[in-house]
Structure 1
Amino acid sequence: MHGFGKPFDPPGVVRPMYGPIVVTYIITAIGLLLTLMSICAVYSLVRKDHVVSIYVINLLISDLIQYCCLIFAVTGSDWMLFGIALCIYISSLTVSIGFMVCIALERYLLIAHPLWYRFRHTIKFSVVLCVMVWVLSPVSVLSLSALSTLQDVSIAPIIIGTFLLLPLPLFIFFLGGTIRALSASRVPSDEKRRIVGILVLVLLIYTLLFLPAIILFMTKMNTDHHTLKSDQLPYLAYVFLMLSPLADAFLYVFMRKGTIDKFLSSVCCCGMDSNDITSPTV
């Protein structure tokens, strides 16, 4: 494949997932630094009994695995090891989506079902749920892929893509249910804003960064590889996919107390300044 400058690429093999090598290097370098810093910062919240922090740490760990796979993809030359790294990368992507669902579910339960959350959603429950995500997410994808390949190789991307689309209605339901339950909730106002901010951010990360690649995976994987070479849209979608770990680092910002209030106050101040400038003098 000429676009990557990999001399060992066999004919007919396309690796659109990693986009231009320079872009991969830049994203990986910045992402590794931000992810490690975010893990250290979120760990301090775990010690303060923030249950959602456990899910965020696991999400960031899956991001680290993705970066390691990206580094190997642009530096390695063994195609057998490359295939293993690719499987690990896809599995870690499903794990990331799984923990995004856990974060949204935890925030929804805190507002919509506070009594259940207080007495049932313990640290032990969170640890068990994390283990289930780490085990079931990659096993489900690999099982679906193997089953569909045995039946018809052309439907494998459709089955896997459909499985990866299932979290979208869950994110919308959690956000809508949380907003509906806000008026009856006794959670402080600043906590409500942070909860809604996290849910909105999770939904945006999924729809803007994951969804384009999932749709293209379902529609383009069975097309001729020459079409993929001339089409730059898959490259852009997979670059968005590589940016998703960078966006995950912003979850810590929304978890800190006062962050949303400072952001809203700065926006309001900018709006007030703009109104003062544009308002006519009497």
Structure 2
Amino acid sequence: MEGLNINSTSQDQSYDYNNITSNYFEPNVIHVVTYIVVAVGLPLTLVAIYALYSMVRSDHVAPIYLINLLISDLIQFCYMIVEVAPNVDWNIKIILFIYISALIASVYFMVCISLERYLVIAHPLWYRFRRTIKTSVVVCVLVWVLSAVCAVCVYFTDDTYILFTALLFLLPFPLLIFFLVGTLKALSATISVPSDEKRRIVGILVLVLLIYTLLFLPSIIWFLKEYTDGLVDFRLILLSLTFLRFSPLADLFLYVFMRKGFIDKLLASPYEK
């Protein structure tokens, strides 16, 4: 991630990612990955947002969280474009601030999606009478505001920013596990939700947990390792940042699971054999 400086807690120096990429990774490879992710993900994300917008009705709240998740992905795509653009003034901190806010928001919108799907199965009556578009919009606004506040805290916590960032990204992990386990336990007792809807809900919860585990946990390991050891592992940093580039692309699979049709047949096929 060019232009982003990381201060080691045990060394009085900063590390520029331009130097990291030139010494430990071929810059062209990182740029090629970025070009591919943006070229594929950006148009598909725009199409998905347009399609999901048509699904937002008074009786269908779930797409609101997914739309906001995809909007945060759009912001990340824009950052990637700026990142590979020549002659970018990285002294303009607002660029990185917006990216960090979008990254935090994307993680917590995944939590919102999992929570909403959990309530459909575990507390269907409560969810049926309490779900409203207004409530979902308020939650989304809170997520965006808190994400911006957390991004500011990341900038101004000095030496403790590493631990703060690690805890910030680690907090959703037990929540996502709880929602998945709670949903699986409640499945047998739920009769008001059709079987195809149950499979789709479980599929969404599993997919969210997989995206988080595979693409965000490496960054958490990086932060914790740097905080405990006081050393900067450049290879781990590059691996973590590369995984983060794929997170907006992976979120598009959530849109596939939200749509009825092909995915229902795919999820039902193991039960038909």
User: Normalising TM by the smaller chain, what interval?
Assistant: 0.7 to 0.9
**Where does 1:72-111 land on structure 2 (aligned, <5 Å)?**
72-75=82-85, 76-81=87-92, 83-111=93-121
Q: Tell me, what secondary structure is at the counterpart of 1:20?
A: helix
TM-score between the two structures when normalised by the length of structure 2: 0.84
2:111 counterpart letter in structure 1: V
Tell me, in whole angstroms, the C-alpha distance in 1 between the residues paired with 2:136 and 2:168. Answer: 23
Q: Deviations over 1:143-195 (max 9, x none)?
A: 2542x32xxx1x32112111210000000000011111111112010010011
| Cα pair distance change 1:238/1:144, threshold 3 Å | closer
C-alpha deviations, 1:212-267, integer Å up to 9, x for none? 1222133247535xx52xx3x33222111110111111111111223333213556
| Aligned mates of 2:45, 2:96 — CA distance in 1 | 21
Rounded Cα–Cα distance in structure 1 between residues aligned with 2:193 and 2:270: 24
Is 1:115 the counterpart of 2:125? The answer is yes
2-side partners of 1:162 and 1:135: how far apart? Answer: 18
Correspondence 1:219 to 2:225:
yes
Matched-pair contact (CA < 8 Å) for 2:101–2:148? yes
How many percent identity over aligned positions?
58
Q: Compared with structure 1, are the counterparts of its residues 218 and 84 closer, same or farther at alpha carbon in structure 2 (3 Å cutoff)?
A: farther
Query: How far apart, in 1, do the equivalents of 2:65 and 2:129 lie?
Result: 19
Once residues 99 and 119 of structure 2 are traced to their aligned partners in structure 1, the CA distance between those partners, rounded to angstroms, is 30
Gapped regions of structure 2 (runs ≥ 5)? 4-13, 22-26
What does 1:1-282 align with in structure 2 at a 5 Å threshold?
12-14=15-17, 20-47=30-57, 49-75=59-85, 76-81=87-92, 83-143=93-153, 145-146=155-156, 148-149=157-158, 153=159, 155-185=160-190, 186-220=192-226, 222-224=230-232, 228=234, 231=235, 233-265=236-268
Two-structure CA RMSD over aligned residues (Å): 2.5
Q: Normalising by the residue count of structure 1, what TM-score does the alignment of the two structures yield? A: 0.82
Amino acid at match of 2:130: R
Amino acid at match of 2:117: R
Q: What amino acid does structure 1 have at the position aligned with 2:17?
A: V
The count of corresponding residues between Structure 1 and Structure 2 is: 252
Amino acid at match of 1:216: W
CA contact (8 A) 1:193 1:260 kept: no
Q: Which runs of 4+ in 1 moved over 6 A?
A: 16-19
Whether the 8 Å contact between 2:58 and 2:132 is mirrored in structure 1 is: no
SS of residue matched to 2:41: helix
What per-residue deviation string (whole Å, max 9, x for no partner) do you get for residues 26-48 of structure 1?
Answer: 11111101111111121121147
Indicate if the aligned counterparts of 2:180 and 2:202 stay in contact, CA closer than 8 A.
Answer: yes
In structure 1, the gaps of 5 or more residues are 273-282
Larger Rg computed on CA atoms: 1
Q: Match of 2:196, as an amino acid?
A: D
After superposition, the C-alpha distances for 1:40-82 in whole angstroms (9 at most, x for unaligned) are 121121147420100000000000001111111111421222x
CA distance in 2, matches of 1:144, 1:247: 25
Cα distance change of structure 1 residues 214 and 265 upon mapping to structure 2, 3 Å threshold: same
